Amino acid sequence: MSNHLLLSIAGLTKVFGGLVAVNQISFDIQAGEVVGLLGPNGSGKTTLMNLISGALRPTQGSVTLEGRRLTGLPPHRIAATGVARTFQLVRVLPSLSALENVMVGAVFGPDQVSPGAARAVARSVLERVGLGGREHLHPAEMTYIDQKRIELARALAADPRILLLDEWLAGLNPTELQTGIELIRSLQAEGRTVLMVEHVMDAIRSLCDRCVVMSAGSKLAEGTPAEVLANPDVIRAYLGDDHA
């Protein structure tokens, strides 16, 4: 992992009506780090991902990628600066083949690419995520993990500076989960920078260099997986007072 500040989140806040869904969150991500974003249901993790990707505008605070302020840019401009994401519920286009779905990602990346180049990139990332030879299939003909692979491939096709994974491992059976963890680990080994919302403890322990834990919109803890998972405040937030 290099010592190069990639993403900086400063005082990020999102208010929905009377609810402070994200409250003054600040943390940095270094290039090559895999950072876990943890917290109980409703603690603001997806809202924070939406603020980074530009799907939502913050009420206050900023997101900076390599010194460039992303806050206020529309989502397609943020994508073009190198932020790619997958969604909690898989969002693939059912009428398109796996290859066509992934070509969409290549077209929205930082580089202007021709359809031919987008096709070549899409083939290569589909191979990379384990879908080589199946690029002509449509999502409905594929298993759930393979649909998730399409989404990951679409994000990778843009060759992002940072990859946002929102519960990419959720809903997989135990065998698929091991495959999924290995796949993310291989991205980590390539030097990819990842911010992942995750509930699967095995994945957090084995993949994350560092974790940020949210509770009721605020940052509750930050540290290595071992540190945060042993933190009484974190245990209390997940399980209630009786367990801390």
Could you tell me where the beta strands, DSSP code E, fall in 70-209? 83-86, 162-166, 194-197
220 binds ligand ATP (CB under 6 A): no
Q: Which stretch binds ligand ATP (CB under 6 A): 42-50, 137-145, 171-179, 228-236?
A: 42-50
| Sole binder of ligand ATP in the list 23, 46, 193, 231 (CB under 6 A) | 46
Cα–Cα distance for residue pair 52/90, rounded to 1 Å: 19
201 binds ligand ATP (CB under 6 A): no
39 binds ligand ATP (CB under 6 A): yes
Which neighbouring-strand residues pair with 38? 213
Cα–Cα distance for residue pair 122/100, rounded to 1 Å: 8
Which value, to the nearest 10 degrees, does the dihedral of the CA atoms of residues 233, 236, 237, 239 take? 150
Q: To the nearest whole angstrom, how small is the minimum distance from the Cβ of residue 190 to ligand ATP?
A: 27
The residue (of 3 and 41) whose beta carbon lies closer to ligand ATP is: 41
Cα–Cα distance for residue pair 106/121, rounded to 1 Å: 7
By three-state DSSP, how is residue 113 classified?
coil
Q: To the nearest whole angstrom, how small is the minimum distance from the Cβ of residue 35 to ligand ATP?
A: 15
16 binds ligand ATP (CB under 6 A): yes
123 binds ligand ATP (CB under 6 A): no
